[in-house]
Structure 1
Amino acid sequence: MSAPRFLDIEYCQTDDALFPVAMAWSLEDGQMKTVVIAPADEWLPEDGDLGDLDLLYLEEQGVPLIELIHELHQDLPDQTVYVDGLDPDEILVDLIFSAMNQEAPFEVAPITELITGMSSEMLEDRRRHLLFEEGLEPQLPEHGVYALLLMAQEEGLFDEH
């Protein structure tokens, strides 16, 4: 089976900071990977104010950027990876790779470039409806990717060979 690849990133945004904290992406077979991301020092605001984000948790449980980048190079080389188009996913991907002085091995594109038969509003309504129907948490990146996978499956975008 060959499925379109999807990606979703949970992030921290304050007045002084914007950086990824967790990420999920799908593989060719429709399986998913999810990681918590250990933040790069340069992402953290000088005043240390991250709202209600648990920095200690990220530092202890997070995957180092070099490992994350290695995995993304293995899983998504030369792919177009689709996102819901609502978050600054492209900026966040750039942050991850530029922190290690690398280029992303994949292109980021909005779901509207994959599912072209619906407007972005219709796609977002469908995504929200699926999240609700399936009892999914919209802020969890793996749930966001799962909803996009369901949408692609409904649209017949999985190759069965």
Structure 2
Amino acid sequence: MPAPRFLDIEYCQTDDVLFPVAMAWSLEDGQMKTVVIAPADEWVPEDADLGDIDLLYLEEQGVPLIELAQELHQDLPDQTVYVDGMDPDEILVDLIFTAVGMDAPFEIAGMEELVTSLPREALDDRRRQLLSDEGLEPQLPENGVYALLLIAREEGFFD
């Protein structure tokens, strides 16, 4: 049985801006991909306060948005992709695909729509506990996806 697909996005949010800076998603076989995202020019006003975000790093190391959009189209066509529901994931996905003039190839749903045996709060607690038990930094998107994969495996959604 193919594994459910998961997605997590790290983002910059200040009074001036909101945009994605890194993303991780899982594939049918449970493998994971992660990328740093090169921001669109229109996402970053001239004198915007970016907090602790290193814009030069994102510009130099980030994947161009068109490449990211193409890869997501290839990896997640016509899928329901589950998120932890803690972040503005739908807004961030819309920002990516709007910037390149494409539609997202997937639908986003909260993890509670997949794992119906646990209430939302219990899912959040379990995710936090897994991150802590594994010694993982919660702000890294690959760690968020990993925790969701572990929950899905515990719940019997794949081996």
TM-score normalized by structure 1? Answer: 0.97
- Identity of paired residues, percent? 80
Give the Cα–Cα distance (whole angstroms) in 1 for the partners of residues 9 and 55 of structure 2: 17
User: How far, CA to CA, are the matches of 1:6 and 1:125 in structure 2?
Assistant: 18
Count matched residues: 159
Q: Contact (CA 8 Å) 2:17, 2:48: kept in 1 or not? A: no
Tell me the C-alpha RMSD between the 2 structures.
Answer: 0.8
User: Mind listing any 5+ residue stretches in structure 2 that lack a counterpart?
Assistant: none
* Structure-2 separation of matches of 1:156 and 1:5: 14
Unaligned runs of 5+ residues in structure 1 are none
Residues 113-122 or 47-56, more deviating: 47-56
Letter in 2 for 1:18: L
What's the CA shift string for 1:100-139, capped at 9, x where partnerless?
Answer: 1111000000000000011110000000000001111100
Shift of 1:48: 3.0
In 2, the alpha carbon distance for the partners of 1:76 and 1:27 equals 8
Alignment of 1:111-122 (within 5 A): 111-122=111-122
Residue 11 of structure 1 is matched in structure 2 by 11
Find the residue that maps to 1:149 and give its secondary structure: helix
Give distance in 2, aligned partners of 1:3 and 1:45: 40
TM-score (norm 2): 0.98
Q: Is the 8 A contact 2:4 2:81 kept in 1?
A: yes
Residues 5-154 of structure 1: matches in 2 within 5 Å? 5-154=5-154
